[in-house]
Structure 1
């Protein structure tokens, strides 16, 4: 009976710029660790479930890092399956796909290809077919559905959800047909790059819509032996099911991920039977911390940060709690931290510090305000600093405008 070990990872986001800081060193250290783990755990195949790159036009060093990883992985006698994510460029991933096939690597950038090209045979180290993968990348609406005029947003969401489910079940049927043709008793694995209902997001996860569908229900997945998901950066099970998992990103991509233990997931099979699923913790390659305190408490909190290895400064997000507006806040904080091995990447004031300037006028009520004014006043209570926060603000504004337009249109029709 053949054995198989598959390592599930995702959301590398090679080339990411984090508050102007490059992640190149962290990614190189992660790849070194991953290759060591592949060898130590005798892994037969690695699945990267989307977002290998951070943008559709990654910097050249990120593309070189990807190419070197593929080459070095083959030294470990290990197969690689790469799925396209919503951050990845389909054309860029496809341009190297024919060459990578000769390096035991299958790249599935989109679902806009023949169905049999989305089914991958996985071989173990003995060269035997030990699993079949329904290799589903990020699904773009144009690849699975035709838009219909006159549909409401709810109807579009239901149609999109059904189209995704239909695609999964269709490819699952094809995978079972291939398994019968090959006359092998092996597991069937599926992949995906989407938001599943109930998944816990983080600040670094870009809101992902497939058409108008915000989240896909786990009931829409086919009955397979393991589902390797990407897009969500926190490792977690989906719908409480052991075999449907997000492995999460290998490094924190936002400060609210700092306290999340990063993982890859090792899945072991004996014949067609899943033996066990084992999360493997990833080391921390760059010290990061979030501090929330007053100016008087800041130095003590910095002293409490664990020692930094190799004299690499700790990246900090600092939120200062003060009742007074301090125009020289940045310079005062810099003066406090000057003697410590830290880099401040994000500095903001606590929300309550802004409240005196944002109070409503004495006699102002909701009935005196337009929906737009209420929305703007509520936004004014939040803090949006940095590129990521500004991008989030723009998405919130777009959602509000769309929702308000829908309400107004509905009232007019009634």
Structure 2
């Protein structure tokens, strides 16, 4: 049996104002061809299929077009929800998809039996523990007076207990059958991308989870959530496949890949990285205005690739009107270039008071995540660190409720004074 481990597609992703739909079209074409050419039996997608909980029509079309393309190949596909996904949207067609050998687990039901699938190909059998992203609400109950550390410990133990129940069920119901576990979480020691996963360490206390917390009984753990491909700890069988495309400029030099696993005689005998072609180059250019223009003039263009996206940071010593005017002209001068300026920013060193106080002349609210904005508000209000973590966590839960289900009538009509208390 041959299995392809993928994760973190993030369909619908934009780099600043630039849509990456063309990148995803090329990736999905390549993936379909690779599955057929390498005779893959099972495709795993370990969370974050979409970039937002409300994917646009184009993203949904890409998703269903790919699944439709897989039908004649008669492969088995297992999809688990990630923290960026709406569980309800993923689960909506699950009963129909199940009859097409496409298994979707958008969220946990609390019953481990619902997350265990038995697959067969040739003479090989395999159990897949299709564990989706486990949200705080799935793992703990909030108790008045709990410290932040108590809440983190509850979540960490909740994750471990969830995997332990699955491992016990597999051992009891299907002895001597290899078990592959999926997961969408941060595991201690993982190398992260600074831009794409700014929230990783604060998501639901999962930063406290380590490889030793996975119980015995899993022959391989296929992880998603971290965009950098890597194995975790000393085991070669706990791995992040990483994102198949660069999803931020900090990922421009990542070695994007998917992972091919071979199951033979009841064992996973081989794990082989399969490099994903680079469909578009990302460039980051930093320096004086003159230096930036010099670099832009020398950018080489690959006619077969999508247009290069360039992020520009102009650094000048002192603020002056002429520099601002020349900086403003930059976008206009390169409007017809064979590359695209995705982002341009201007910084003056004499305004630099500290790393947290960069003076940037071209910063937009859209460049910040909703938690960035809320964190700044808490910082400005002088909220202490421990309380800040709890408020950030609560804010994420509220944001998820509103984006996935729409505003709750309770939230809309409750007395504001009671809400604040």
1:68-123 Cα shifts (integer Å, max 9, x gaps): 21121222221000000001111111111011001101101111253211001122
Q: Which residue of 1 aligns with 2:412?
A: none
Deviation at 1:404, TM superposition (A): 3.8
If the length of structure 1 is used for normalisation, what is the TM-score? Answer: 0.85
Check whether the contact 1:12–1:51 (CA below 8 A) recurs between aligned residues.
Answer: yes
Q: Which residue of 1 aligns with 2:376?
A: 397
Q: Secondary structure at the match of 1:345?
A: strand
Check whether the contact 1:194–1:215 (CA below 8 A) recurs between aligned residues.
Answer: no
**1:364-379 correspondence to structure 2 within 5 Å:** 379=356
If the length of structure 2 is used for normalisation, what is the TM-score? Answer: 0.83
Give the whole-Å Cα distance in 2 for the aligned partners of 1:398 and 1:169. 40
- Aligned partner of 2:313 among 305, 308, 319: 319
Give the whole-Å Cα distance in 2 for the aligned partners of 1:301 and 1:274. 48
Check whether the contact 2:284–2:310 (CA below 8 A) recurs between aligned residues.
Answer: yes
Deviation at 1:297, TM superposition (A): 2.1
1:33-69 Cα shifts (integer Å, max 9, x gaps): 0011111111110100001011111111211211121
Q: Which residue of 1 aligns with 2:185?
A: 194
Give the whole-Å Cα distance in 1 for the aligned partners of 2:184 and 2:387. 34
Deviation at 1:7, TM superposition (A): 0.4
Q: Secondary structure at the match of 1:150?
A: coil
Q: Which residue of 2 aligns with 1:236?
A: 230
Check whether the contact 1:319–1:348 (CA below 8 A) recurs between aligned residues.
Answer: yes
Q: Secondary structure at the match of 1:165?
A: helix
Check whether the contact 1:19–1:386 (CA below 8 A) recurs between aligned residues.
Answer: no
Relative to structure 1, the CA distance from residue 27 to residue 96 in structure 2 (aligned partners, 3 Å threshold; closer, same or farther) is same
Relative to structure 1, the CA distance from residue 178 to residue 229 in structure 2 (aligned partners, 3 Å threshold; closer, same or farther) is same
Check whether the contact 2:152–2:208 (CA below 8 A) recurs between aligned residues.
Answer: no
Give the whole-Å Cα distance in 2 for the aligned partners of 1:300 and 1:358. 25
Give the whole-Å Cα distance in 2 for the aligned partners of 1:280 and 1:408. 44
Give the whole-Å Cα distance in 2 for the aligned partners of 1:402 and 1:10. 38
Q: Which residue of 1 aligns with 2:17?
A: 20
Listed as ranges, the gaps of 5+ residues in structure 1 are: 360-376, 410-414
Listed as ranges, the gaps of 5+ residues in structure 2 are: 389-421
**1:278-357 correspondence to structure 2 within 5 Å:** 278-310=272-304, 312-325=306-319, 326-334=323-331, 337=334, 340-350=337-347, 353=348, 355-357=349-351
Check whether the contact 1:160–1:210 (CA below 8 A) recurs between aligned residues.
Answer: no
Deviation at 1:210, TM superposition (A): 4.8
Q: Which residue of 2 aligns with 1:216?
A: 209
- Aligned partner of 2:199 among 199, 203, 207: 207
Q: Which residue of 2 aligns with 1:112?
A: 109
Deviation at 1:400, TM superposition (A): 4.3
Q: Which residue of 2 aligns with 1:138?
A: 133
Give the whole-Å Cα distance in 1 for the aligned partners of 2:225 and 2:307. 29
2:53 maps to 1:56 = yes
Q: Secondary structure at the match of 1:121?
A: strand
Deviation at 1:333, TM superposition (A): 2.4
Check whether the contact 1:261–1:281 (CA below 8 A) recurs between aligned residues.
Answer: yes
Give the whole-Å Cα distance in 2 for the aligned partners of 1:402 and 1:142. 28
Q: Secondary structure at the match of 2:127?
A: strand
Give the whole-Å Cα distance in 2 for the aligned partners of 1:131 and 1:401. 53
User: Could you tell which deviates more after superposition, 327-336 or 100-109?
Assistant: 327-336
Relative to structure 1, the CA distance from residue 301 to residue 170 in structure 2 (aligned partners, 3 Å threshold; closer, same or farther) is same
2:142 maps to 1:147 = yes
Relative to structure 1, the CA distance from residue 135 to residue 382 in structure 2 (aligned partners, 3 Å threshold; closer, same or farther) is farther
1:167-225 Cα shifts (integer Å, max 9, x gaps): 11111111222313xxxx43211111111112222211251445344342111112311
Q: When the two structures are aligned, how many residues end up with a matched partner? A: 380
- Two-structure CA RMSD over aligned residues (Å): 2.5
Q: Secondary structure at the match of 1:313?
A: strand
Deviation at 1:277, TM superposition (A): 1.0
1:355-393 Cα shifts (integer Å, max 9, x gaps): 42355xxxxxxxxxxxxxxxxx76323658355642263
Give the whole-Å Cα distance in 1 for the aligned partners of 2:141 and 2:73. 43
Deviation at 1:313, TM superposition (A): 2.7
Relative to structure 1, the CA distance from residue 380 to residue 244 in structure 2 (aligned partners, 3 Å threshold; closer, same or farther) is same
